[in-house]
Amino acid sequence: MKLAVVVQRYGADLNGGAELHARYIAERLARHADVEVLTTCARDYITWRNELPPGTDSVNGLSVKRFKVSRERNPSDFGKLSQYVFGDLHSIADELKWLQAEGPTSPELIDYLLQDTNRYDYVIFFSYRYYHAYHGIRVIPQRAILVPTAERDPALGLAIFRPTFRAVRAVMYNSYEEQSLIHKVSENEHVPGVVVGVGSEVPETASPERFRHRAEITGDFMLYVGRIDENKGCAEMFDYFQRYSSQVSNKLKLVLIGSPVMNIPKHPNIRHLGFVTEEEKYDAMAAATVLLMPSYFESLSMVTIEAWAMNLPVIVNGKCDVLRGQTIRANGGLYYESYGEFAESVHALETNRDLRLKFAGDGRTYYEGHYTWDVIEQKYISMIDQLEASPPPRQKTISKNQTGWFERRKRNCSPAQDVVNKLPTGPVLDPAKNTRRKSTSNKP
Amino acid sequence: MSEFKIQSDNVDVEKIMEQIRSRIKDKRGVDYTEDQIKELANVKLERFLDPKNVRSDLLKHYRQNKQKDKDGIALVRPPIPSGTYDVDPDVIYRSSRGIAGKVLYGLRKVLKPILKLFFNPDMIVHILAIQKSQIEWMVDTHVELSERFEKIAKARVELDALTYEVLNNLVVEMTRLSIDVKNHKMRVESVASRLDFDERRARALEQVVAYQPNARKNSTTNADDAKDDGGDGSQGRKRRRRRRGRRRPDAPPTAEVKEAVASEPQATTESAGTKNDNDGNTVSTSDDPSQASGSAKSPDTTGQ
């Protein structure tokens, strides 16, 4: 069987969420099938500038075909168009302009797929919102499997993507919350889909003593792993932690791992270690009391899954439906939506060892049941087997422009933000029924 | 902050979160998010504010008025008359009909003396000149006033935006403060009841301390007896401790106490001297060791 993985960027040193996800999946599926990666020459997701040479390359033993991006992104134009299609009544033509402006515009990649539509048995597209996925799926919908990596952002409300979700052969979701959002926005319940996510492999030999000795850290500490960024909820995390230190307990420390893009407050209990190796990261997880995940928007938090794999309970931002839902389903930690809940949750886990152990154990069980690589690989293989067993549905080819010339220019598309605001909120508490509970808070 | 009492074999995230929320609610009354406060400020002000003083639909009306202002503020400037009208003494005799006009103009000039027999055309020209200058002045004034009005209107729109923001923030803050006041009242009541309880407890403990030597003597004897019996001295103390009923400070001493005081006058004096030494023991009789030690710290989650 020959599979293709199509993703906007690809490389061993690219650590973006979807790109890393795509690489992991490609490398794992290569054990079961002949896998080729189709991607662009871009490295920077802001400009999509061609930085890597076009042609065939090899990354970790996998064949990678790179195609040139025909035009770089103009952030100013893209910003204006985004503002317009997200906030105003607009037309399909406007949305197509937005897609073009977003990039990475690589007609060569689409032409390559079009040249021989039988070249691959199945083509796995990552990230629904980019040019390659939109146009690629239109070229070979009968062979397309989509990994949407969708979040609750306004792009999900754009009308052009609804046929995409309905046209593919299968959808591999990252979480039940994502599945629920996409079902609601596109009514694609008939498309075979499964909640998969991404696997995690943790070392058996992580050493807390090694970490404490190397980092010279004693006592209990909360761990944050990831980019230190306001968009990741770090400003709120620092505020809450400093208040907790001054009002409740100053014994607990906060250890940060990752590159900063915001100022880290100077506080005796906050320690920033910068970028560390994988071994050091897992050592830190083994030594930590609890993992803190303050992000508002996550389609899947790999760090949280790794924490559970390392027997570490978590405290997550309850305003992120995905994190909250995962934590509840895993029974692997607590969540907060205000400082009061943060203080109580942290204090509960800091002082109650039994509680920590119980959450850690349940988190590990959840990881073993859902996020080991064997489970993930099996879900992909089962889905492909299911698609093989059932003939592709007879469907019309999807027009890349969606509708006729006049229809395309009618300003009858609702603002994307309004569409997203109407989608259900809250975690999915019963995945079997895929029912959501109404969230108690609004998004920021 | 007091500890969670959780049985480790029955841990459920949602139940713990409910427990956390109820603890927060107990501490700070009602837990409102920022969005809820804004919603309350917009809709249900009458629940928190005096409706006689502050209109609950203040913001709504303000928005409506603001929209009306915005609609009415677009100024349409009247067109300024075009063309120049030079008023000279011959203006009423001229004609614009080309060569024929020139002939006509000459004819009128010739007949001017006859015309003057009927009325004074110079006066008409003079009045026209005055009117012209007056109209020019009015147009200039109108233009200047229009410009000034536009500037004022523009400044007012900006000022209105600021006023609206200030007013909006004030109303939100008032709501927040009202909620805070309500919560603080609840906390004051809670603190007052605790204080009352502590005072009563302190009085009760003072009574215990006043007669401690006698009790201590007995306890030592009992402990010795217990040791002699091969038992633990602490068990003897435990047996001896019993809760005393609350006694009013001004209540008369019982007959037993009177007898003890009368028989051992020095012991009472001694007990006063050893009172401080026994403080630790007396405090440890509290039902709630965490309160007695005073070491537990409670987070002030109301300050957010």
Q: Cα–Cα distances in Å, from A179 out to A246, A327, A431?
A: 41, 17, 10
d(C-alpha A195, C-alpha A179), whole Å: 7
Of the given ranges (A177-191, A233-247, B29-43, B136-150), which has the lowest mean pLDDT?
B29-43
Which among A340, A341, A354 has CB closest to B8? A354
* Chain A residues in contact with B4 (beta carbon < 8 A): 348, 351-352, 355
Question: Phi and psi at residue A257, in whole multiples of 5°?
Answer: -125, 125
Which pLDDT band, with edges at 50, 70 and 90, does A345 fall under? very high
* Chain A residues in contact with B35 (beta carbon < 8 A): 441-442
Quick one: what percent of chain A has pLDDT higher than 90? 66
| Total CB pairs under 8 A between chain A and B | 82
Residue-level pLDDT at B81: 61
User: Does ipTM surpass 0.85 in this model?
Assistant: no
d(C-alpha A267, C-alpha A308), whole Å: 28
Among left, alpha and beta (phi > 0; psi -120 to 50; other), residue A130 is beta
CB contact under 8 A, A345 and B20: yes
CB proximity under 8 Å: A 362-381 to B: 362
Peptide bond into A104 cis (omega under 30): yes
Residue-level pLDDT at B163: 82
Kindly give the interhelix angle for A321-330 and B13-28, rounded to the nearest 10 degrees: 120
Q: Cα–Cα distances in Å, from A226 out to A235, A265, A334?
A: 14, 17, 19
* Chain A residues in contact with B1 (beta carbon < 8 A): 248, 343-344, 347
d(C-alpha A114, C-alpha A110), whole Å: 6
d(C-alpha A284, C-alpha A281), whole Å: 5
- What Rg value do the Cα atoms of chain A yield, rounded? 22
Q: How far B8 CA sits from the closest chain A CA (Å)?
A: 6
The tens digit of pLDDT for each residue in A35-57 reads 999 999 999 888 999 999 999 99
> Average pLDDT of each block of 10 consecutive residues along chain B (304 residues)?
61 86 71 64 53 56 62 58 70 86 91 90 88 88 90 86 80 84 89 91 84 55 48 46 51 48 42 38 36 39 38
* Chain A residues in contact with B17 (beta carbon < 8 A): 334-335, 341
Which pLDDT band, with edges at 50, 70 and 90, does A112 fall under? very high
DSSP reduced 3-state for A255: strand
Residue positions counted in chain B: 304
d(C-alpha B174, C-alpha B44), whole Å: 12
Give the torsion sign (CA, A407, A411, A416, A421). Answer: negative
Residue-level pLDDT at A310: 94
What is the rounded average pLDDT of the residues A410-427? 88
* Chain A residues in contact with B20 (beta carbon < 8 A): 334, 341, 344-345, 348
Q: How far A342 CA sits from the closest chain B CA (Å)?
A: 10
Residue-level pLDDT at B237: 47
Q: Which residue type does A418 have? A: D
More confident residue, A289 or B245: A289
Residues 6+ apart with CB under 8 A from B99: none
Beta bridge partners of A35: A3
**Residue A3: its H or E element:** strand A2-6
Residue-level pLDDT at A6: 96
Q: Cα–Cα distances in Å, from A186 out to A125, A207, A409?
A: 18, 47, 21
Which among B9, B35, B299 has CB closest to A247? B299
Q: DSSP of A154-221, one letter per residue?
A: GGGG-TTHHHHHHHSSEEEES-HHHHHHHHHHH--TTS-EEE--------S---HHHHHHHHT--S-E
d(C-alpha A178, C-alpha A15), whole Å: 22
Residues 6+ apart with CB under 8 A from A315: A222, A290, A291, A292, A293, A333, A334, A335, A336, A342, A345, A346, A349
Which pLDDT band, with edges at 50, 70 and 90, does A376 fall under? very high
Residue-level pLDDT at B74: 55
Query: Domain A2-199+373-436 carries which CATH code?
Result: 3.40.50.2000
Print burial letters for A404-443: b (CB count within 10 Å at least 16), e (below 16).
eeeebeeeebebbbebbeebbbbbbbeeeebebbebeeee
Q: Is the pLDDT of residue A231 over 50?
A: yes
Residue-level pLDDT at A301: 86
Q: Which positions in chain B have a beta carbon within 8 angstroms of at least one beta carbon in chain A?
A: 1, 3-4, 6, 8-9, 11-14, 16-17, 20-21, 23-24, 27-28, 31, 33, 35, 297, 299-304
* Chain A residues in contact with B301 (beta carbon < 8 A): 339-340, 343-344
Q: Does the A208-370 domain belong in CATH 3.40.50.2000?
A: yes
Of the given ranges (A234-243, A355-364, B71-80), which has the lowest mean pLDDT?
B71-80
Quick one: what percent of chain A has pLDDT higher than 70? 95
What is the rounded average pLDDT of the residues A406-413? 85
> How are beta strands A34-40 and A2-6 bridged, if at all?
parallel
Alpha helix locations (H) across B9-120? 13-28, 34-43, 58-72, 98-118
d(C-alpha B17, C-alpha A336), whole Å: 9
pTM of structure: 0.60
| In chain A, where the domains are located | 2-199+373-436, 208-370
CB contact under 8 A, B13 and A327: yes
Q: Is the pLDDT of residue A213 over 80?
A: yes
Question: Phi and psi at residue A293, in whole multiples of 5°?
Answer: -130, 95
The tens digit of pLDDT for each residue in B57-72 reads 666 666 666 665 555 5
Average pLDDT of the residues of chain A: 89
Q: Is the pLDDT of residue A318 over 90?
A: yes
Residue of A nearest to B12 (CA): A331
Print burial letters for B10-37: b (CB count within 10 Å at least 16), e (below 16).
ebebeebbebbbebbeebbbebbeeebb
Nearest to A2 by CA among A170, A155, A123: A123
CB A20 within 8 A of CB A52: no
Residue-level pLDDT at A332: 93
d(C-alpha B89, C-alpha B121), whole Å: 9
Q: Cα–Cα distances in Å, from A254 out to A107, A234, A284, A312, B238?
A: 47, 12, 12, 15, 45
d(C-alpha A359, C-alpha A50), whole Å: 46
Residue-level pLDDT at A27: 93
